[in-house]
Amino acid sequence: MNSFIHLLKQSAVWPLYPVGATFLLLLVGATLLLSANKKAGIFFILAAGIVLFVFSLPWTGFTLLHRLEVEAGPYGEPAKLRAAGVRYIVVLNNGLASESRLLEGIRLWREMPNTQLVLSRRTLNSVDARADGLRRFGVPREALLILEPQALDTADEVTLFKPIVGSEPFALVTSAFHMPRAVQLFRGKGARPIPCPCEFDNNRLSTHELFVPSFSNLEYSKLALHEYYGRLFYWIKDRTLSSSE
């Protein structure tokens, strides 16, 4: 996917996220107020406030993310991976989360030294590290397989990694909330990922915070919605392609 199409795709889904939806509802409401349709204008402005409030609640983001993390399963177990004949540990990129994912990949590799860590160049760049820098973690250069092409999203990463792993089982490392969609995409290409999630957030909520809104919770809600929208998109895409064959 080129950068322009990626930007267009991101712009198209922006109104489906809490902040985007709030902005559009406010815009419609203000326009209706200025056109003397006060009742409709007030309705849209109130709807904007409700959307912003609901999705900024800890309970909302926690519930949406928790469902994804439960589906992702537990941390990867090296003994089970060895028994499955795993040779590759694929680590997906996600900007700031890439460091956590990389460290989880290294943890698995340390207990499976005959495997290879498969990374994209963007994963290393996003944590400001290079192959030489990984030596401090005890990972030799020959244990790394670093792919050069830039992947802009998960679908690009699947296309990038699939020729390497083929149809054999491999350990897939990514954030727990992202794991269900990543597995869906790899399996859609005939790959056999074994989920090895990391960066669990489902224990962060305490009872007294249930109804205290914050901007950080908007980000949690957006992360979860991004995953649900992505899964829905690929589900529709698969059904459309199947019906046209």
Residues 123-142 have pLDDT tens digits of 555 444 555 556 667 788 88
Report which residue type is found at 227: E
Give the whole-angstrom CA distance, residue 163 versus residue 32.
54
Return residue ranges of the chain for CATH 3.40.50.620. 75-198
Q: What is the reported pLDDT for 196? A: 97
Q: Residue 228 pLDDT > 90, yes or no? A: yes
According to CATH, the topology of domain 75-198 is Rossmann fold (3.40.50)
Q: Residue 12 pLDDT > 90, yes or no? A: no
Most confident of 39-53, 135-149, 202-216: 39-53
What is the residue-averaged pLDDT of the chain? 85
Quickly list H helices, the chain. Answer: 3-13, 18-34, 38-55, 58-72, 78-83, 98-110, 121-126, 154-165, 179-188, 215-244
Range of lowest pLDDT (100-104, 106-110, 169-173) = 100-104
Give the whole-angstrom CA distance, residue 93 versus residue 151.
9
Q: What is the reported pLDDT for 39? A: 93
Residue range 198-225: mean pLDDT, rounded:
81
Residue range 189-208: mean pLDDT, rounded:
82
Range of lowest pLDDT (30-34, 48-52, 126-130) = 126-130
Give the whole-angstrom CA distance, residue 68 versus residue 115.
28
Q: What is the reported pLDDT for 8? A: 75
Q: Residue 149 pLDDT > 90, yes or no? A: no
Q: Which of 19, 47, 4, 3 is nearest to 215 (CA)?
A: 19
**Directed axis angle between helix 179-188 and helix 215-244, to 10°?**
20
Range of lowest pLDDT (18-27, 77-86, 235-244) = 235-244
Give the whole-angstrom CA distance, residue 95 versus residue 78.
26
Q: Residue 76 pLDDT > 70, yes or no? A: yes
Q: pLDDT band at 234, cuts 50/70/90? A: confident
DSSP 207-234: GGGTT---HHHHHHHHHHHHHHHHHHHH
